[in-house]
Structure 1
Amino acid sequence: MASEAIQQVAGCCHRQVGDILVTALNDGHQDAPLTSMAGIATEEAAALLQAAFRPVPRRTAVNGFLIRSGGRTALVDAGCGPIKPTTGRLAANLAAAGVAAEAIDTVLMTHLHPDHFGGLTGPGGAPLFPAATLRLHEAEQAHWQDDAAMEREDPARRAAFFGGARARLAAYADRTSPFTSGEVFPGVTAIPLPGHTPGHTGFMVASGGKSLLIWGDIVHVPEVQVPRPEATMAVDVDPAQAAATRRRIFDQVATDRQAIAGMHLHFPAFAHLARDGAGYRLVPDAWSIALEGDI
């Protein structure tokens, strides 16, 4: 009798963007109560999730992305790390993609929240990517080093968010290279997307007339925030700016038919955004054996 499957196959999916190979790496998922959202009634958020056949409370995917370009290798975000049974898969999926942690020369951070920086270090605090330069927006680095901003938070968030971010920055202190804009890796341009955090950043991957926008945390709960872009997250540093940035990027990617990828889109996290009346509709890319996307 054949043995029964006890887990999914490797959570990695490749997308060719011109001469650049982008690989989505799943880290798992996190469940959170609907009270972690704002700007929308919990009853409406629950109804939107139920209509999409999604669990209530909300379930949020966590992804990172590998970029191989010009003979170099970058990782965009490092996932949660093994903070709970449902996370910490990124390292195994990186290995399944055939890439050793030591081969990564650059780590690009969309921002410094625990579900993005958790996988940067091991249990003892040592860097898990020993050859990598850490790159992030200078406003992001400044925010998490700001004592006044830290004091405005409750004690739990001071420890988990500020303490955690500072520990990771310290681990990579001798190899941190902040940016404000421009090319940050061969074929990859930083796109400032402030609001969720002051230095929240997307990365436009472009080569050979093709492009892919890795938009970071523009949405956390696609079933809710795509039809209701005014819905914000309790962890948004500036909720009004986060919502305004989301509306601006929605308009841009829908108008340009821009391929997108997101840390909290359902794996494999490649998609497009289409206009739907006065709003928008997320269209996940169909899986294909070919590495090139259809658009």
Structure 2
Amino acid sequence: MKTSRRMFLSKSLATLSIAGASTAFGSKIWAQTSTQLGAFQIDTLSDGNLVLPGDFVFGAMPQSELGDILSRHNISREQVTPDCNLTLLRDGERTILFDAGSGPDFMQTAGKIGEAFDVLGIDPGEVTHVVFTHAHPDHLWGVMDDFDELYFYNATYLIGQAEWVYWTDPKTVETIGENRTTFAIGAQRRLLQIEDNTSFFKDDEEILPGVASRACFGHTPGHMAFELRSGAESLMVVGDAIANHHVAFEQPGWISGSDQDGEMAAQARISLLDQISTAQIPMIGFHLPYPGIGRVERAGSGFRFIP
């Protein structure tokens, strides 16, 4: 496997190739990083970033130990601004996008995929498949454009069966909790818009040639990761199963407030980190520092992310 951004494995060294732009405030609004995985061309595209209160992630964690970790990583306890990294796979026949981004209606700092597509010279109509890790706003709402029409207008959509059932259940709006009610309302509206062009899958299925599903339930009831395989090479797209580059690695068993089922998500996170560190499978994390590409190694009782 070769990469133009950084090392995936200790023996692979390559050249950086990034396109980027800035807003008037100096923040990155798009970027593109290219990687070759066997016969697959893989690009990570910046959809911008989120701005979240620290308690949304850190509130339930042991605060004294948390402070040490955040200090070492220079992370604010009061506010976090995670990057949003979309993954694009091209093989000459298919153009597959993993997650759709935030679109225009979630946060002003996110929903920037259009700029990345412009740099790549890709029209949204060229996307043949959109594969969802889960249906939170920053992963789903980008299916609709400013005119409330489908942005990827020629695409087939794929989502885990359990995830679809949860978000389209009318009871979810009433049971998800006040802080996430808009998540449920927004998900239902958008999923129903794409229903006629959507296919469903379960755990451990080859959902497309070279793309296998890997259940990581907990962040949402049906969250999925995906192993991309080409020949003898693999790469794991982890979505939000591993949602940051600090606490999630050093203390993967800690409960994160961003997860809907914290205990289940922690178990899934530990299992996934164990798998990709043992097998030395490179990974792309949706909310890891752009471009989100790296590998995982064990570090004491936890793990370490190596960009």
Partner residue in 1 for 2:11: none
Aligned with 1:125: secondary structure?
coil
Quote the Cα distance in structure 1 between the aligned partners of 2:60 and 2:254.
Answer: 5
1:14 has 2:37 as partner: no
1:208 has 2:231 as partner: yes
Moved more, 112-121 or 45-54: 45-54
1:34 has 2:57 as partner: no
Query: For 1:98-121, what per-residue CA distance to the aligned partner results, in whole angstroms no more than 9, with x for missing partners?
Result: 211000011000000011112110
Indicate which of 199, 216, 235 corresponds to 1:177.
Answer: 199
Q: Which amino acid aligns with 1:40?
A: M
Deviation at 1:14, TM superposition (A): 0.8
Question: What does 1:1-295 align with in structure 2 at a 5 Å threshold?
Answer: 7=26, 8=28, 10-37=30-57, 38-56=59-77, 57-82=79-104, 83-158=106-181, 160-181=182-203, 182-284=205-307
Aligned with 2:51: secondary structure?
strand
Aligned with 1:215: secondary structure?
strand
Residues 5, 245 of structure 1: alpha-carbon distance in 2 compared, 3 angstrom cutoff: closer
Deviation at 1:95, TM superposition (A): 2.2
Aligned with 2:217: secondary structure?
coil
Partners of 2:160 and 2:201 within 8 A in 1: yes
Q: Which amino acid aligns with 1:52?
A: H
Deviation at 1:277, TM superposition (A): 1.8
Amino-acid identity (%): 30
Quote the Cα distance in structure 2 between the aligned partners of 1:184 and 1:222.
Answer: 28
* Higher RCO (C-alpha 8 Å, min separation 6): 1
Q: Which amino acid aligns with 2:231?
A: G
Deviation at 1:10, TM superposition (A): 4.5
Moved more, 223-232 or 110-119: 223-232
Partners of 1:34 and 1:42 within 8 A in 2: no
Please give the TM-score of this superposition, normalised by the length of structure 2.
0.85
Please give the TM-score of this superposition, normalised by the length of structure 1.
0.89
Q: Which amino acid aligns with 2:89?
A: I
> How large is the RMSD of aligned CA atoms in angstroms?
2.0
- Unaligned 5+ runs, structure 2: 1-21
Moved more, 179-188 or 258-267: 179-188
Deviation at 1:242, TM superposition (A): 0.4
Aligned with 1:116: secondary structure?
helix
Moved more, 167-176 or 130-139: 167-176
Quote the Cα distance in structure 1 between the aligned partners of 2:242 and 2:260.
Answer: 14
Quote the Cα distance in structure 2 between the aligned partners of 1:71 and 1:238.
Answer: 38
Q: Which amino acid aligns with 1:34?
A: G
